[in-house]
Amino acid sequence: MRIALINENSQAVKNAVIYNSLKKVADAHGFEVVNYGMYSAEDKAQLTYVQNGILAAVLLNSGAADFVVTGCGTGEGAMLALNSFPGVICGHVATPLDAYTFAQINDGNAISIPFALGFGWGGDLNLEYIFEKLFSEPFGQGYPRERAVPEQRNKKILDGVRAAAFRPLPEILRALDSELVKGALSGEKFREYFFRDAKCDEMKALVNEILG
């Protein structure tokens, strides 16, 4: 599994803390973590939580990432932004229990964490425990296990509803403000990581078109 980490500007100062906690858990599972930044509050490319959603959608829909870890001050804005795009199911995760039940019941591909609200002493440990429970078992097995069949059925229904509700991502991106989209894809290492990892030629061509 390739996991992308994305930070927006208000919480960029915590990027190293988040990355280290995530990588520790990912390494134990043989997963790869790709850090898309922001890396510091002074980064030239300043991402808003809305742009987190654009970047996450590009990464997931292109196959450049299998899972996205992101967030903002409360985690709510980034969660809403990510869920505004096709191919992204993002849960709001503040505790290890949130992480486990989201993975097992909702079987999504992204989480948004509150990196300011309630993030005090021991915040790094809570992050580590969140990632441990998130990736402790294969996703979508249901919880409790006797609820697995109806929960998996509901997830398929949700997937069908979302497929009917969204336009194709390229059409959405072209309809958005071009500078907003370009800014979301202007991180220091975006080009290097994206074109190395993306699997979809259509998305690669679109990103080239956006970036010029």
The model carries a pTM of: 0.97
Average pLDDT in the chain: 97
Please report the pLDDT score of residue 21 as a whole number. Answer: 98
The Cα 126–Cα 193 span in angstroms is 28
Judge whether 13 and 46 are in contact, CB under 8 Å. no
Distances (CA, A) of 152 to 91, 127, 143, 145, 158: 16, 27, 10, 11, 10
* DSSP codes, 18-58: HHHHHHHHHHHHT-EEEE----STT-SS---HHHHHHHHHH
Q: What percent of the chain has pLDDT over 70?
A: 100
Joined tokens for residue 99: 């992480």
Segment 150-163 shows an average pLDDT of 96
Region 195-208: what's the mean pLDDT?
Answer: 97
- Dihedral sign for Cα 173, 179, 184, 186, please: positive
Q: CATH number of 2-211: 3.40.50.300, 3.30.70.100, 3.40.1400.10, 3.10.310.40?
A: 3.40.1400.10
Q: Where are the domains of the chain?
A: 2-211
Strand blocks (E) in 63-170: 67-72, 90-92, 110-114
* The pLDDT of residue 114: 98
Q: What pLDDT shows up at residue 128?
A: 98
pLDDT value of position 187: 96
pLDDT given for residue 147 in this prediction: 94
SS3 68: strand
> pLDDT tens digit string along 25-70?
999 999 999 999 999 999 999 999 999 999 999 999 999 999 999 9
9 close to 47: Cβ distance less than 8 angstroms: yes
Residues 76-134: pLDDT tens digits? 999 999 999 999 999 999 999 999 999 999 999 999 999 999 898 999 999 999 999 99
Radius of gyration of the chain (CA): 16
Query: Backbone phi, then psi, for 132, in 5-degree steps?
Result: -60, -45
- C-alpha 175: how far from chain center: 22
Q: What is the pLDDT of residue 198?
A: 98
The pLDDT, as a whole number, for residue 166 is 96
